[in-house]
Chains A and B, each alone.
Chain A
Amino acid sequence: MLNCGIALTIDGKVIGRVLDVKRLSVKFKTKHGVVQAVSDVSLHLDKGRILGIVGESGSGKSTVLNAILRLLPEKDVLLEGQIIYEGTDLFTLSPPAMRAVRGKEISMIFQDPMTTLNPVYNIGNQIAESLKVHGLYRGRERERVFELMREVGIPSPESRVREYPHQFSGGMQQRAIIAIALACEPKLLLADEPTTALDVTIQAQIVELLRKINRTHHTSIILVTHNLALASDLCEEIAVMYAGRIVEKGPAEVILQDPRHPYTRGLLSAVPLPGITRGTRLATIPGTVPDLADLPPGCAFHPRCPLALEECARLAPEPVETGDRHTLWCRREIKEGAA
């Protein structure tokens, strides 16, 4: 099968699937009522692949990552669905079993490097911590820390290992965080806006590093970003989220060159493109992202959608496969597909 990467299908069972998110919903209980942050999200990721989740702020993309690792405060959150990691539903694991997964099997890189690192521990101790927690590289932690620092491109690890986060630049801090995430050789890396706080030349360095990690260790990566161009640069597949739902997903080229969902189209044409849009009016999406505590009925995008049908205000969108692993959730597409 072409376009299928490493995943093989035998008797309908997929080999090499790392993660399967099935109908995930996340609701937060707040003073102002229930906030529906994620609604009915299904995703899967095969070994060695890179998936991008793209959306604006409040679209629920970071919440999906936090739900996968069960980092959300469980008493205030209602979780539905399944997170199948290598055949096990992570939602059924006991807290100690879940701790064995975090950092060792699945690890995460957060957005803001300044607040991710602990300011009162030196970099070396922070990288070694997850090795100690998981009991790996016993007696050889120090060598492993140097090895990791070299791998992520921190120069002169012998002296920098004793430095504190404030002595590192933003890009170096992010490299240290990636070293922490890689320490136990996880099979899946969740990257939540890993370059948003960084300058563009540093962003390019970090993107190259993530690509290298993916190639050399076959680590699967989920990249969450609001930057479509960044996702197109690194990811093979892209899922676009809006107001807690996936509205369109498929291979990166298809999503970026031939988007079908009105929201994806709007988002893409709102980005200035060198050589094409200069000096012209940019296409805009009228209005703003809806309040997740008070979502509109039917399709959450219908109040802003230029192509909305009368039924979009009443009925939730259904998935439509347009072939080549490209799916979108839009009622107009069903109508036009049938017509």
Chain B
Amino acid sequence: MNSGNLLEVNDLKKYFPVQSSLAGRLFGQRPGWLKAVDGVDLFIREGETLGLVGESGSGKSTLGRTVVGLYEATAGEVLFEGRPVQRQSPQERKSFRQKVQMIFQNPYSSLNPRKTVRQILDVPLRMRGVPAPERLVEMEALLDRVGLNRWHLDQYPHQFSGGQRQRIGIARALAMHPRFIVADEPVSALDVSVQAQIINLLMDLQEQFRLTYLFIAHDINVVHHISSRIAVMYLGRVVEIAGSEELLTAPRHPYTKALISAIPEISKTRRRERILLEGTIPSPLNPPPGCCFQTRCPEKKGPVCAEIVPQLKDVGGDRFVACHLYER
């Protein structure tokens, strides 16, 4: 365990049971498993932003939720401040839940429509033990910090725009004085001009409160903008981790290469050659044997790809790649 790491994830797995049909059960078919996260290793350094990208169904949200403890891991461990999360005492658990917060994707469904902003923000402040007279002062400071005003306190979520709702969600997370925030697609539901406001806010808050982020999104340009390092997920596994700049300019894993070449670019002058992938991401109910990407990989090396799962290996320069092409 490196002392500079706030969070470490070792061989983390999250499987969801899938009910077979009644007919299937009558004929003795066993329930299957959906392998949403299937053996992920990563670490997040204190004060950095680790971006997590991947297509829908790659398991990035499940990973985020398992890390904060919204899902119980099937196997593997999560270390926070060097202590395993699964074996926490009740006091440790309470402090973990305070220090680790989440910002959700959909600002329309992550706020209770029947509660005013005052009621929404009151809960975390009460949990933190802030006495009632001080709560109002803190609420006003929080709203001010995220770019809202005190007269918003008695309004309901439906009276706000998408961007403002996302600000309320951020204020709610900040109210707990967290060290680590998992932001799960925090700007995906927002329009471009509002998206930029929220990205700026998240970056300012990081600087002011020395926050560490796990920033999950499918828009690589947004992730690249805010992250120091980026992890790429495919079918429940991390296939590559590298510095933000290096990942975009010199991707190593064949999937990362294809993913980056697929991003439409505004500039017409320096067009990258596009790698068009065949087909779609396989079902996590029935993942292919060997490398998770072997069914679509344009650089498949041979039978080894179909037989052996490549492990995430340090390839030097703070980069990790899970691909047989980089095995010696």
Kindly specify which of B103-111, B133-141, B242-250, B300-308 makes contact with the partner chain.
B242-250
**Inter-chain contact A253/B245, CB cutoff 8 Å:** no
Of B194, B261, B280, which is within 8 A of A202 by CB? B280
CA gap between A257 and B269 in the complex, in Å: 10
Of A169, A233, A272, which is within 8 A of B225 by CB? A272
Separation in Å of the B166 CB from the closest CB of chain A?
Answer: 12
**Inter-chain contact B264/A271, CB cutoff 8 Å:** no
Asked, given contacts A203-B262, A205-B276, whether A267 binds B249 with beta carbons under 8 Å apart, the answer is no
Q: Is B315 an interface residue (CB 8 A)?
A: no
Kindly specify which of B4-12, B168-176, B215-223, B320-328 makes contact with the partner chain.
B215-223
List, in ascending order, chain A residues with CB within 8 A of B299's CB. none
CA gap between A270 and B222 in the complex, in Å: 11
**Inter-chain contact A273/B221, CB cutoff 8 Å:** yes
List, in ascending order, chain A residues with CB within 8 A of B220's CB. 200
Q: Is A284 an interface residue (CB 8 A)?
A: yes
Residue on A nearest B255 in the bound complex, by CB: A201
Q: Is B196 an interface residue (CB 8 A)?
A: yes
CA gap between A172 and B220 in the complex, in Å: 23
**Inter-chain contact B193/A284, CB cutoff 8 Å:** yes
**Inter-chain contact B197/A284, CB cutoff 8 Å:** yes
**Inter-chain contact A288/B224, CB cutoff 8 Å:** no
Asked, given contacts A56-B192, A282-B196, A289-B191, whether A271 binds B276 with beta carbons under 8 Å apart, the answer is no
CA gap between A279 and B220 in the complex, in Å: 14
Of A205, A272, A288, which is within 8 A of B161 by CB? A288
Residue on B nearest A199 in the bound complex, by CB: B55
**Inter-chain contact B225/A282, CB cutoff 8 Å:** yes
List, in ascending order, chain A residues with CB within 8 A of B244's CB. 278
Q: Is A256 an interface residue (CB 8 A)?
A: yes
Contact with B along A282-295 (1 / 0, CB 8 A): 11110011000000
Of B191, B200, B264, which is within 8 A of A56 by CB? B191
List, in ascending order, chain B residues with CB within 8 A of A233's CB. 264-265
Q: Is A204 an interface residue (CB 8 A)?
A: yes
List, in ascending order, chain A residues with CB within 8 A of B161's CB. 288
Q: Is B132 an interface residue (CB 8 A)?
A: no
CA gap between A233 and B192 in the complex, in Å: 18
Asked, given contacts A56-B193, A201-B258, A275-B248, whether A229 binds B264 with beta carbons under 8 Å apart, the answer is yes
Q: Is B1 an interface residue (CB 8 A)?
A: no
List B residues 182-237 near A (Cβ within 8 Å). Answer: 191-197, 199-200, 203-204, 218, 220-222, 224-225
Q: Is A104 an interface residue (CB 8 A)?
A: no
Q: Is A96 an interface residue (CB 8 A)?
A: no
Q: Is A118 an interface residue (CB 8 A)?
A: no
**Inter-chain contact B200/A204, CB cutoff 8 Å:** no
- Best-buried of B222, B248, B259, B266 by chain A (most CB within 10 Å): B266
Q: Is B114 an interface residue (CB 8 A)?
A: no
List, in ascending order, chain A residues with CB within 8 A of B163's CB. 288
List, in ascending order, chain A residues with CB within 8 A of B276's CB. 204-205, 208
A: contact size bracket: 35 or more
Asked, given contacts A169-B280, A207-B264, A278-B224, whether A267 binds B193 with beta carbons under 8 Å apart, the answer is yes
Asked, given contacts A200-B220, A253-B268, A281-B200, whether A270 binds B262 with beta carbons under 8 Å apart, the answer is no
List, in ascending order, chain A residues with CB within 8 A of B55's CB. 199-202
Of A232, A271, A281, A284, which is within 8 A of B203 by CB? A281
Asked, given contacts A270-B193, A273-B221, whether A232 binds B265 with beta carbons under 8 Å apart, the answer is yes
Contact with B along A225-236 (1 / 0, CB 8 A): 011111011000
CA gap between A194 and B262 in the complex, in Å: 16
**Inter-chain contact B222/A230, CB cutoff 8 Å:** no
List, in ascending order, chain A residues with CB within 8 A of B261's CB. 204
**Inter-chain contact A201/B191, CB cutoff 8 Å:** no
**Inter-chain contact B225/A232, CB cutoff 8 Å:** no
**Inter-chain contact A272/B199, CB cutoff 8 Å:** yes
Of A199, A205, A272, which is within 8 A of B56 by CB? A199
CA gap between A172 and B278 in the complex, in Å: 12
Of A202, A205, A226, A230, which is within 8 A of B191 by CB? A226
Q: Is A308 an interface residue (CB 8 A)?
A: no
**Inter-chain contact B199/A201, CB cutoff 8 Å:** no
CA gap between A288 and B197 in the complex, in Å: 11
Q: Is A296 an interface residue (CB 8 A)?
A: no
Q: Is A88 an interface residue (CB 8 A)?
A: no
CA gap between A317 and B218 in the complex, in Å: 38
Asked, given contacts A200-B218, A282-B225, whether A274 binds B192 with beta carbons under 8 Å apart, the answer is no
Q: Is B277 an interface residue (CB 8 A)?
A: yes
List, in ascending order, chain A residues with CB within 8 A of B277's CB. 201, 204-205
List, in ascending order, chain A residues with CB within 8 A of B280's CB. 169-172, 202
List, in ascending order, chain A residues with CB within 8 A of B248's CB. 274-275
**Inter-chain contact A256/B266, CB cutoff 8 Å:** yes
Q: Is B93 an interface residue (CB 8 A)?
A: no
Separation in Å of the A289 CB from the closest CB of chain B?
Answer: 7
Q: Is A277 an interface residue (CB 8 A)?
A: yes
Q: What are 11 sample pairs from A and B whose C-beta atoms fall under 8 A apart?
A: A57-B191, A199-B218, A200-B259, A200-B263, A202-B55, A204-B261, A204-B264, A226-B191, A232-B265, A271-B221, A278-B225
Q: Give the B-binding residues of A (Cβ under 8 A).
A: 56-57, 169-172, 199-205, 207-208, 226-230, 232-233, 252-253, 256-257, 266-268, 270-275, 277-279, 281-285, 288-289
The 5 closest A-B pairs by CB, nearest first: A272-B225, A270-B196, A204-B262, A199-B55, A282-B196
A-B contacts besides A201-B258, A271-B196, 15 pairs, CB < 8 Å: A56-B192, A169-B280, A199-B56, A200-B220, A204-B274, A207-B264, A228-B192, A230-B264, A232-B264, A266-B193, A268-B266, A270-B193, A281-B204, A283-B196, A285-B193
